Amino acid sequence: MLMSDVFAIVFTILGFLLAFPALWLTLNALFPNAARRSEEQVREAPIRSFLVGAVSLTAIVFLVVLLAATQANFLKFIALLTGGGGAILAHLGVAGLVRHIGSRMPSSIDGASPWRAALRGAIALELSYLLPIAGWFLILPVSWLVGLGAATTAILRPAPALKAAPVSAPDSAAAMPVGSAG
């Protein structure tokens, strides 16, 4: 292996290490409700999130293989969109996962900058990805499956209904137009 090969591998890994927290923070900022609901799914039912993620991944892979095996270029393009959409969905769920991890590492500045908790969670999760064997073959795929399941459940489950504030009857004096004699 040449030195250039080593540099290519090292800088590719470093690029991913910089890109993942940025992606997770961006997804938290662009889709805060979905990321919050994914975080709730991870907190309340991590095993269910993992199992839903495994079933979802199986369905996505089956659909991508089925569509990519056709002769129609349009269906191959749909296969590409399906795979990319599944990856984005998984990362949206991981954005909720890093929010959950970060919330378990509180700091005094979280009130002023709530995104810092997600950043701490993202850094902790991605540093665990660097662990030889356990990080590569256990933590990384499990976190992505949990993320895919959490995001899938968060999107497919109906949002909890917001309770409406009670509306009081208007005052008869306040309801009269200005300048009219009552």
pLDDT tens-digit profile, the chain (182 residues): 799 999 999 999 999 989 999 999 999 999 999 999 999 999 999 999 999 999 999 999 999 999 999 999 999 999 999 999 999 999 999 999 999 999 999 888 888 888 999 999 999 999 999 999 999 999 999 999 999 999 999 999 877 766 655 666 555 555 555 555 55
User: What are the start-end ranges of the E strands in the chain?
Assistant: none
Distance (Å, whole) CA 36 – CA 38: 5
DSSP 136: I
Rg of the chain taking only CA atoms, in angstroms: 23
Token reading at 178? 């200005």
State the pLDDT at residue 114.
83
State the pLDDT at residue 111.
82
Count of structural domains within the chain:
1
Tell me if 69 is assigned to some domain: yes
Find where tokens 């923070």 sit.
Answer: 25
Helix, coil or strand: residue 174: helix
State the pLDDT at residue 50.
98
Give CA angle at 119 (103, 102), nearest 5°.
Answer: 15
Tell me if 35 is assigned to some domain: yes
Tell me if 30 is assigned to some domain: yes
Domain that holds residue 143: 10-107+120-158
What is the value of pTM for the model shown? 0.83
Tell me if 168 is assigned to some domain: no
Tell me if 53 is assigned to some domain: yes
Tell me if 82 is assigned to some domain: yes
Tell me the CA distances in angstroms from 15 to 45, 64, 108, one per residue in order: 32, 27, 30
Tell me if 182 is assigned to some domain: no
State the pLDDT at residue 5.
93
Tell me if 142 is assigned to some domain: yes
